[in-house]
């Protein structure tokens, strides 16, 4: 069997399983990113709050998560937590991935929030708006927009990192590749095919993110309607 025949045979034999596993990869990524976004926002608020305890708590969380290899975190949560509460592999995996990305998202959100000019807060507060209303209607919409490129990056990293949950028996794309290559003794060709699947997934992800980025890009320069109108004295 030459190289192309091997590739064709792998695709013929495994494409169904790979496709199904891709769906698992996408769903575990999506769920983990929702968890990560919530965690990230909460800890970003902690970090910009005036309460020292909350700040320290956020620092501690970020220190731990950034300091541990993701695979260690996944194994720890799977074996550690599941001895207390029963979690299925998918849930444990999604939570571990979420906790991991959450730490990075927290820093991204914090940076974005702090990058918004202080004058925005002052203007809102001077109008009698409460600090939470100011955060919700003035700071976050602007910060979120500013965070989009970095968020996109982190989301793509999240998608690729999801391959590590193969080690806790989630049947996602990478675990399928492990099975397949053990079965067909063609690891090189198998991982090549799976690599293409990941590339395709990331490509789709990127397209979606670009679309969101474009859609959210309102309010920056919306002069079209009034172009050429005279400056009034």
Partner 1 sequence: MIKVNNLKKKFGDLEVLKDINIQINEKEVVVVIGPSGSGKSTFLRCLNNLEEITSGDVYINDINLSGHKVNINEIRADVGMVFQQFNLFPHKTVLENITLAPIKVRKKTKQEAEEKAYKLLEKVGLVNKADAYPDSLSGGQKQRIAIARALAMDPKIMLFDEPTSALDPEMVGEVLSVMKDLAREGMTMVVVTHEMGFAREVGDRVVFMDEGYIIEEASPVTLFTSPKHERTTAFLSKVL
Q: Which residues of this chain interact with partner 1, rule CB under 8 A?
A: 117, 119-120, 122-130, 133, 137-138, 141-142, 145, 218-223, 225-226, 229, 231-233
- For partner 1, the closer CB: 133 or 200: 133
Phi, psi of 31 (to 5 degrees): -65, -45
Closest distance between partner 1 and the C-beta of residue 147, in Å? 14
Which one, of 145, 143, 167, lies nearest residue 216 by Cα?
145
Shortest CB 115 distance to partner 1, Å = 13
* Nearer to partner 1 (CB atom), residue 133 or residue 196: 133
The distance of closest approach from Cβ of residue 145 to partner 1 in the complex, given in angstroms and rounded to an integer, is 7
Contact of 182 with 110, CB cutoff 8 Å: no
**Which SS3 state, helix, strand or coil, does residue 117 take?**
coil
Given the complex with partner 1, which of 38 and 133 has the nearer CB atom?
A: 133
* First-last CA distance in the chain: 82
Tokens of 61: 């969380």
Please say which residue, 12 or 50, places its beta carbon nearer to partner 1: 50
Between 88 and 137, CB nearer to partner 1: 137
Report, in Å, the least distance between residue 231 CB and partner 1: 6
* Residue bearing tokens 């965690």: 39
Whole-angstrom distance, CA of residue 173 vs CA of residue 170: 9
In whole angstroms, the minimum distance from the beta carbon of 121 to partner 1 comes to 9
Residue with tokens 């013929």: 12
Do residues 202 and 159 lie in contact, with contact meaning Cβ atoms separated by under 8 Å?
Answer: yes
């Amino acid at each position: 069997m030459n190289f192309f025949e091997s590739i064709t045979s792998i695709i013929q034999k495994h494409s169904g399983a790979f496709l199904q596993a891709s769906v698992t990869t996408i769903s575990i990524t999506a769920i983990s990113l929702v968890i990560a976004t919530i965690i990230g926002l909460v800890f970003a608020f902690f970090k910009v709050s005036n309460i020292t305890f909350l700040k320290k708590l956020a620092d501690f969380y970020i220190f731990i998560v950034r300091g541990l290899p993701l695979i260690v975190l996944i194994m720890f949560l799977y074996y550690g937590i599941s001895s207390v509460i029963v979690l299925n592999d998918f849930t444990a995996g999604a939570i571990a991935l979420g906790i991991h990305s959450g730490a990075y998202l927290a820093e991204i959100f914090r940076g974005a929030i702090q990058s918004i000019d202080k004058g925005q807060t002052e203007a809102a507060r001077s109008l009698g708006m409460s600090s939470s209303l100011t955060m919700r209607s003035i700071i976050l919409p602007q910060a979120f927009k500013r965070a989009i490129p970095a968020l996109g990056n982190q989301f793509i990293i999240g998608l690729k990192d999801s391959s590590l949950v193969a080690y806790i028996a989630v049947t996602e794309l990478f675990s399928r590749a492990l099975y397949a290559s053990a079965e067909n003794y063609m690891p090189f060709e198998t991982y090549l095919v799976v690599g293409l699947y990941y590339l395709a997934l990331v490509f789709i992800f990127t397209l979606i993110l670009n679309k969101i980025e474009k859609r959210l890009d309102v309010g920056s320069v919306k002069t079209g309607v009034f172009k050429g109108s005279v400056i009034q004295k």
